[in-house]
Structure 1
Amino acid sequence: MPQELPGFYYDAEKNRYFPIKGPIPGATRSSSAKPSAQNSATEPTQAGNSCKKPNVRMSQLLQARELDGNAITSQKRKCNFKEEFQKIQVSHPMAWKYKGMDRIGVSALEQMHVGVQTLQGQVETDVLLTGSIYGSLSFSEVGKKGQHYDNRSKYMPDRVWCCDKGKEDCSVVAEPIFGLSRGSLPFSSQISCIKLSGKHSYAVDDGPGIRRALITTLGSGTSGGSVYTLDLVEPLDFSPNILNIRRRLHEVGSFNCTLWAADYDYDGSRAVIGTNLGAALLDVETGMASWFLRCKSDVLAQQIIKSGNVVICGLRNGAIVTVDFREKREEFSSRLIRYRIPCSHLDKTVGSSRKEWFEISGNMSPPQTIRMPSSISCLVSLQFDDQYFLASSMDGTVKLFDHRKIQRGAVQSYEGLVNSHTRIQLGVDPSDKFVLSGGEDYNVRLWSIKSGELLFNEKFCNSVPSTVCWKTDECFKGVQDGRHSYSENLGLGSWLGSHEGLFYMQWL
C-alpha cells in the first residue's frame, strides 16, 4: 500500500501521486490565512455545517469590518467580510410568480443569451426556453426588448415573497417576459431535459457562445424518447409566427426507451444520454449512437467532467458510476466489460433474497463507484472546477464530492431538503458560491456551498419547485415603464419551475 503524503493523494490507476488543489471553488481565502496544502484539503469540512440562516445584521457586519478589517469575527469564528455579506444578502430574496403562466407544468428550464431579429434589426437579448410536462417547448424574451412585436403576450410578475417587511411597498419588480401568443412547439411527450452548448460563453468576444440547444423527450407508454437540436448560430426570428423556429429544430435520433437525462460534450458535436437501459454517446451531426454503459437500473442523472474526459452517471439504485466515454464502443452490450458492483447495506432487507451485487457493463473503474442512500435525483458540476460535483438523492441527501478523492467520501453535506420520490434539480449560481433547490414540502432552500449553511428556507409555491435555472451574468439596463421602475442591476437571480407555473427569485 502506498503511504499517505500530506498535501497529495494517490491514484492507483495511474500509479502516481497528485497534489491536492486548494479549497472548494467559490471559497475565498481571507488575507490573514496562511496557505498550506494540508489546510486546503480540510478547510471545506472545518468551515462548519450548522445549516443556520445568518443572524448578524448588516449594520453589525459593517461595524465589525471597521474594527477588524476584512477578516472579521462572526459567530465566534474568524470569517471573510465579503462572504458573510453575501450570505446575508442571499438570505433575504424577493420572489415573483408570472401571471398568465399558471398550470403550464414546467419540466425543464434554460436561459440563453442569443441574437434575436426584431423590426429594428438584430439585438442581443436573453431568451427563456421552457419545456412542459405536457410536451411543449416555449420561448420567452426577458425584459423590454420583447415588446417590439405585435404578436407577443406580456406576462407580468406578481410578488409572492419578500423577506424584508420594509420592502412590501417597494416599486422595484422583476422584469416582464414576452411569449409568443400563437402557441409553442409540440412534442410527442414530456420535455425531460434542455442543455445548451457553450453555456458559459455569453459575450460576443468570448468565443462561439451558445450554438445549439439539446432537447430530449421522456417517451411514453407507446413510444420511446427522442433527441432534438435547436440551431442558435443565426439570430432567432419570432416574427410572424413560431414556424420560423420550427425550421431550426432537427430530430437527431429516437430510441425505444425512456430518456431521463442528457449532457453536451465539449464543443457540442456530441451528447451523452441517460436511459432506462443505460447510457449512450450520440453524434448530433450524424445521429449515430453507441452505448458505453449498460445496466438494469435507470440512469436518472448525468454530468460530464470535461477536465477528466469522463461522465458520471447517477442510477436509480443509488449508485454513482464514473465511465470513460472517449473510446468508440460497439453497439452491442456484449462488447462492453462486465462488472459486479456490491450493493450497499441500504439495498438489503432482513430475510430478503435480493442479490448482494448488481451487474453493469461499460468502460468504467469499479473503485470510482460510490453509493447514495436512495435513487439519484441530480448531478451538477461546479463551473470553475468541474472535478467538484454536487449529488442529490431522493431521500433528501445533498452532498459535494471531489472526483479526484471520491473514495474518501463527501467534502460537504447540505441538510434540510425534503424529498421522497421526485427528481428535483439543483441549481448552482454562476460564482459557485450557492446551491438552490425546491422540496416536496414546497419550500425553496438555498445553501452556502463552502460552509453548508442553510441560508434560506421558505415556502411561496403550491407545488414542488423541481426545476431551477440561474440567471446569466448579463445584467439589464435600468428602464422605466409607467408605474414600475426596473432595477438597473439585478445581481443574482434564479428561475424556478413547477407544475404550478414559473417563478423568479432576485437578490438586490
Structure 2
Amino acid sequence: MPRELPGLYWDEEKQRYFPLASSRRPQVAGPSTSYLPTKLQSLAAPQATGESYNLNKHRPRALLRAREDARSSFRATHKNKLMQYVSLYRMSLGLTSTRNHYPLLANLIIVAHSQISCFQVAQTPHIASSSVLSLTRCAITAFQAVSYNNNVHSFAGDTGGWFYSSVIGRDEPAIGYHTSHGWRPESLPYVYLAPAACHATSFGPESKILHFPLDLDSEDIRVTRVNNRSVRDIWTADFQGTRLVLGTNDQAVVINDAADRATVCFMKTGSDVFAVTQNNNIIYTGSRAGLVQRFDMRIANTKGDRIFSDPHKTQHNSVTNLKICYDWQLLTSNIDGSLAMFDLRFPCSRTPVISFTGNINTYTTKTPIAVDPHEQFLFAAGQDRRIRLWSLRTGGAPLISPASVFQKPFEDPIRALQVVEEQEGVLGLWATSGAALYKYNLGQRI
C-alpha cells in the first residue's frame, strides 16, 4: 500500500504520484443539487471535461446573482403595476401629460387634494356686496385688504382719483368706507400694501405716490412725486420689502425706498409696461408689445433679457399680468385671454409648463387675476364680466358648478380681484365691479 503524501495522490494505473490539482484525479460524486433552480444546477454540477468544480466556492456567488435577478424582476413587475395605477389616476384627474418620467406619489396626493379643494370652491353658493361711499360714483379700479393689529384694513381707489380706506375688527361685519382722499382728476390704477403701510399710485401726466400708514395713531399721510418728466402714466406697480417698481410708459421705474425715494433708476423696455413682478434682485416686466423681460438689479445699466419669446410667432399680444408662483414658475396673462405658467429655470423655452384655457378677452388691458395665499387656486376676470376658477396645479379648462355664483355675470367690468385668508383655512375672494365690492366666502355653504 503506497503511503499518503501531502498534496499528492497515487495513481494505480500509472503506478506513480500526481499532484492533487491534476486533471487525472478521479471524480468524486458531489452533494445533491436538486434543491437549486434549474439555472443554478448547471452551475453547481461538475463540468463535462472532468474538471473539479469547487461547489463550496461558487455556490454563494451564484445564489447572490440569482437573488439579485429575482429582486430586479420584482422591482420591474411592481414598477409596471404602479405606473398603470398612476396612469389611471392621472386620467381620472384629467391630466394629459405623456412624459415618460417616474412620477412621485407625493405630488399626486398634493394634486388630488388641490383638485378636491378647487371643486369645493367652485360650488360656492353665496356672495355678499358692500357699497363704497363714493362721492362721484366712479368705478373702482383698485382694491387691497390686509389683517393688521387684530383689524382688517382695506383700501380702494376709483377712476375719479378718490382713495378710500376702512378699518374694522376681525369679528365685525363689513361696512361702508368712511375715509376718502381726493386726487382729482387722476385715477388710481393700483393700490399695494407694505408690511405697515399702504401705497397707492395714480394714472396721469404727473406721477404721484400716496403713503398711508396702517397704524391708527400715526398721521404720517403724505403724497410724493417722481421728479422726472419722462415718468408718466403709471399702469401698474409691485412692492417688495422697501423697493417699489412702477410700470410706466416705455420703461419700468425702480424706487429702492418707497417712503424716502432714496434711489431711482430706470429700465428701458421700448414699450409701455402693463405688468411687473419681482423676486429678490430680479425684476420681470410684461409690455404692451407682448414681451416678458428680466432685469437684474445687481448689474448696473442693465438692458434686460427677453425670456419665453419666440421670434417666429406674432408679437403685440400684450402681457397684462405677471405673478411668481412656487418660487420658480411665472404665471402670465395676455390680452387675448391666454393664461399660462412658465418655468423660470428655462428662460429660453417658449413652451408653458401649464396652460389655462377658457378665459375670454380680446382688447381689455385691465382684466385682473388672483392667486390664493396657499397657491392652489387661480381666479381670472374675463371681458364677458365673469370670474373663472382653475386649479393652479393642473390647469386645463375652468372648473364649473351649476350651483355656483361664479356662473352669474356682473353688470359692470371687473377691475380688481384679491383672495384673503381671514382666518386659518377660511378664504374670501374680493372683487370690484362698478362702484361696488363683492365678497365670495369660498367653499362655505352658509
Q: Deviations over 1:396-428 (max 9, x none)?
A: 011111211232221111111111222211100
Which has the larger strand fraction?
1
Q: Aligned runs of 1:374-453 on 2, under 5 Å? A: 374-382=317-325, 385-408=326-349, 409-422=351-364, 423-452=366-395, 453=397
The one-letter code sitting in structure 2 at the alignment partner of 1:322 is R
- 2:286 corresponds to 1:314: yes
What SS does the corresponding residue of 1:90 show, helix, strand or coil?
Answer: helix
- 2:430 corresponds to 1:454: no
The one-letter code sitting in structure 2 at the alignment partner of 1:141 is V
Structure 2 gaps, min length 5: 1-77, 81-88, 97-104, 401-405
Residue 254 (structure 1) shift: 4.8
Equivalent position of 1:98 in the other structure: 130
- 2:446 corresponds to 1:474: no
> In structure 1, what is the Cα distance between the partners aligned to 2:337 and 2:268?
27
Residue 47 (structure 1) shift: 6.4
Q: Aligned runs of 1:249-264 on 2, under 5 Å? A: 249-251=222-224, 253-256=226-229, 257-264=232-239
1:424–1:437 contact (8 Å) kept in structure 2: yes
1:227–1:251 contact (8 Å) kept in structure 2: yes
Cα distance change, pair 303–45 in 1 and its aligned pair in 2 (3 A): farther
> In structure 2, what is the Cα distance between the partners aligned to 1:454 and 1:460?
15
> In structure 2, what is the Cα distance between the partners aligned to 1:176 and 1:434?
24
Cα distance change, pair 434–187 in 1 and its aligned pair in 2 (3 A): same
The one-letter code sitting in structure 2 at the alignment partner of 1:213 is C
Residue 85 (structure 1) shift: 2.6
Residue 178 (structure 1) shift: 4.3
Residue 192 (structure 1) shift: 1.7
Measured on the aligned residues, the alpha-carbon RMSD in Å equals: 3.4
Cα distance change, pair 368–474 in 1 and its aligned pair in 2 (3 A): same
Match of 1:190 among 164, 187, 190: 187
Residue 136 (structure 1) shift: 1.1
1:305–1:387 contact (8 Å) kept in structure 2: no
Residue 292 (structure 1) shift: 3.7
Equivalent position of 1:176 in the other structure: 174
TM-score normalised to structure 2 length: 0.66
- 2:438 corresponds to 1:496: no
Equivalent position of 1:341 in the other structure: none
> In structure 2, what is the Cα distance between the partners aligned to 1:33 and 1:427?
39
> In structure 2, what is the Cα distance between the partners aligned to 1:464 and 1:44?
37
2:199–2:212 contact (8 Å) kept in structure 1: yes
> In structure 2, what is the Cα distance between the partners aligned to 1:410 and 1:191?
33
> In structure 1, what is the Cα distance between the partners aligned to 2:206 and 2:223?
17
Equivalent position of 1:109 in the other structure: 143
The one-letter code sitting in structure 2 at the alignment partner of 1:109 is F
> In structure 2, what is the Cα distance between the partners aligned to 1:95 and 1:311?
36
Match of 2:117 among 72, 86, 101: 86
Equivalent position of 1:129 in the other structure: 155
Q: Deviations over 1:283-306 (max 9, x none)?
A: 324425533421331011100022
Q: Deviations over 1:90-117 (max 9, x none)?
A: 11112222246684411111111123xx
Equivalent position of 2:209 in the other structure: 227
> In structure 2, what is the Cα distance between the partners aligned to 1:44 and 1:316?
37
Residue 467 (structure 1) shift: 0.8
The one-letter code sitting in structure 1 at the alignment partner of 2:270 is K
- 2:184 corresponds to 1:236: no
Equivalent position of 2:101 in the other structure: none
> In structure 1, what is the Cα distance between the partners aligned to 2:246 and 2:370?
20
1:414–1:447 contact (8 Å) kept in structure 2: yes
Q: Aligned runs of 1:22-101 on 2, under 5 Å? A: 48=94, 82-93=113-124, 94-99=126-131
The one-letter code sitting in structure 2 at the alignment partner of 1:111 is A
Q: Deviations over 1:230-253 (max 9, x none)?
A: 233xx215xxxxxx75x4234253
> In structure 1, what is the Cα distance between the partners aligned to 2:264 and 2:90?
39
Equivalent position of 1:363 in the other structure: 303
Residue 44 (structure 1) shift: 11
> In structure 1, what is the Cα distance between the partners aligned to 2:343 and 2:170?
42
1:47–1:450 contact (8 Å) kept in structure 2: no
Cα distance change, pair 386–81 in 1 and its aligned pair in 2 (3 A): closer
The one-letter code sitting in structure 2 at the alignment partner of 1:253 is V
- Greater Rg over alpha carbons, structure: 2
> In structure 2, what is the Cα distance between the partners aligned to 1:394 and 1:445?
16
> In structure 1, what is the Cα distance between the partners aligned to 2:188 and 2:286?
19
Report the number of matched residues.
Answer: 332
The one-letter code sitting in structure 1 at the alignment partner of 2:304 is M
Equivalent position of 2:247 in the other structure: 274
The one-letter code sitting in structure 1 at the alignment partner of 2:203 is L
What SS does the corresponding residue of 1:82 show, helix, strand or coil?
Answer: helix
- 2:253 corresponds to 1:304: no
What SS does the corresponding residue of 2:265 show, helix, strand or coil?
Answer: strand
Structure 1 gaps, min length 5: 1-31, 35-42, 51-70, 72-76, 116-123, 147-174, 198-209, 238-243, 330-335, 337-361, 476-488
Equivalent position of 1:216 in the other structure: 201
What SS does the corresponding residue of 2:359 show, helix, strand or coil?
Answer: coil
What SS does the corresponding residue of 2:345 show, helix, strand or coil?
Answer: helix
What SS does the corresponding residue of 1:179 show, helix, strand or coil?
Answer: coil
Residue 143 (structure 1) shift: 5.3
Residue 260 (structure 1) shift: 1.1
The one-letter code sitting in structure 1 at the alignment partner of 2:293 is V
TM-score normalised to structure 1 length: 0.59
What SS does the corresponding residue of 2:198 show, helix, strand or coil?
Answer: strand
Cα distance change, pair 325–368 in 1 and its aligned pair in 2 (3 A): farther
1:224–1:254 contact (8 Å) kept in structure 2: no
